[in-house]
Amino acid sequence: MTSLLTNTSAMTALQTLTQTNKNLAMSQNRIATGQRVSTASDNAAYWSIATTMRSDNKALGAVQDALGLGAATIDTMYTGLNGTVEVVSEIKAKLVAARTPGVDRDKIQSEIGELQKQLKNTGDSAVFNGENWISVDSNSTSYNSTKSVVSSFSRAGGVVQIDTVTVDLEAIKLYDQKADATPATNVVTGASTGTFVAAAGNITVQVGTGATVNVATTTDSTLASIAKDIMKLGIDGLTVAVDAATSQLVFANRAQENGAPAGVTITLNSGLTGPAALATAPATESGKGILDKSYDAYNGTAWETFSVADIDISALTDNAADLSKLETYISGVDDALSTITDAATNLGAIKNRIGLQQDFVKALKDSLDRGVGQLVDADMNAESTRLQALQTQQQLGIQALSIANSGSQSILSLFRG
């Protein structure tokens, strides 16, 4: 049946053409944006995943920048530490040379003084982006003994986690501008009367709240042998010396760096008697740097304190006490050199780790980009072929609609005479 009011063919052709135009618009959009999922309406699940991953990838870009900044800062501090190794070694060599009898120690001190200035200049100059980790002021309100470099960003189960690489400034700093703290007095107890007599018995030694250690003595023991036996125990922080002038054993406990001084308790048992007061050593200040921290040395009569930054040998002579003091200086400088070497090694390891993390983050960003692309990117070859097909369909649809509309015109010819 042919109807003038209802053109079924035209309706069908119009519906087909409308759908073709929609598909054509979708294909053109994919070609223009390069994405098959560019809005939530295209594919809500994939769009949500892609949006989250793009955001995370931007965060990884920030991590990459932070790693670059951290690597540059650590490299600067490593350079500063490494630059002091040769200078401290030179100071040690000068002190060894000063041990030779008859040398002009005043002239050697002038050289050491210049080397000490060079050390300070090196420490103060190791600055990157306003940061100096090896010459600090721990009294500053903004001081933090731990520096962190952002190393990673991850998301698992909807929970975001940020990891860091940490640097302990207390382990690498060379100088600390803060004033020396007043040390707490070490507590030493012993027998209250009598002169120490080598005899069979026990000496109980305890440092702070640590475990007690019993040292056995015999009737043949001398003060020197007892001191040696106690030192062999390796009790943390404990030193023992012999005061020949008073025939006393001198027990001391150096405060641990950045920790509260621990008391030394000495108890004489089994008939041993001791002096009226067992001597104690001064506690070192806490928190100073490697080069300006105090070393305690017992010269046989008194305790003295020195640091690598203020060693002065100009007044030393060839007498036994001065030569002993000089040897103590050499030992202290060698200890500082070892500590600096350890600090530089630690920073070097962190530097290498950051370099590896930089490479990993770059690879991870590329991986995430590829993953997002798999979800939302359009296949341009397929879309190009589809576009051509839809354009042909569009032309055919227009032609079909034109033919369907022309059917109404043919009805008119039936009423012509």
Tens digit of pLDDT for each residue in 324-349? 788 888 888 998 999 999 999 999 99
- 374's enclosing H/E stretch is helix 320-376
pLDDT for the residue 253 = 62
pLDDT for the residue 180 = 54
Q: What average pLDDT does range 307-322 have in this prediction?
A: 87
Tens digit of pLDDT for each residue in 185-194? 333 343 333 3
pLDDT for the residue 337 = 93
Please tell me the least confidently modeled range out of 220-229, 346-355, 390-399.
220-229
Domains in the chain (CATH in brackets) are: 35-177+315-377 (1.20.1330.10), 201-282 (no CATH)
Tell me the percentage of the chain whose pLDDT exceeds 90.
Answer: 21
Of the pLDDT bands very low, low, confident and very high (cuts 50, 70, 90), residue 319 is confident
Residue 376 · residue 46 · CB < 8 Å? yes
Alpha-helix residue ranges (DSSP H) falling in 126-237:
169-172, 223-232
Residue 308: DSSP 8-state: G
The residue with greater pLDDT, 286 or 15, is 15
The residue with greater pLDDT, 283 or 169, is 169
pLDDT for the residue 344 = 92
pLDDT for the residue 274 = 54
Closest CA to 393 of 12, 6, 16: 16
Task: Provide the token pair at 46.
Answer: 């994939």
Q: What average pLDDT does range 298-307 have in this prediction?
A: 62
Tens digit of pLDDT for each residue in 154-166? 877 777 888 888 9
Q: Exposed, middle or buried by CB within 10 Å (0-12, 13-18, 19+), for 134?
A: buried
Tens digit of pLDDT for each residue in 70-102? 999 999 999 999 999 999 999 999 999 999 888
Closest CA to 180 of 285, 294, 290: 285
Average pLDDT, the chain: 78
Q: What average pLDDT does range 196-224 have in this prediction?
A: 71
Tens digit of pLDDT for each residue in 362-388? 998 888 889 888 888 777 888 788 878
- 381's enclosing H/E stretch is helix 380-412
Residue 261 has pLDDT above 50, yes or no: no
Residue 108 has pLDDT above 90, yes or no: yes
pLDDT for the residue 84 = 94
d(CA 194, CA 207): 24
Q: What is the largest CA-CA distance in the chain?
A: 154
pLDDT for the residue 135 = 93
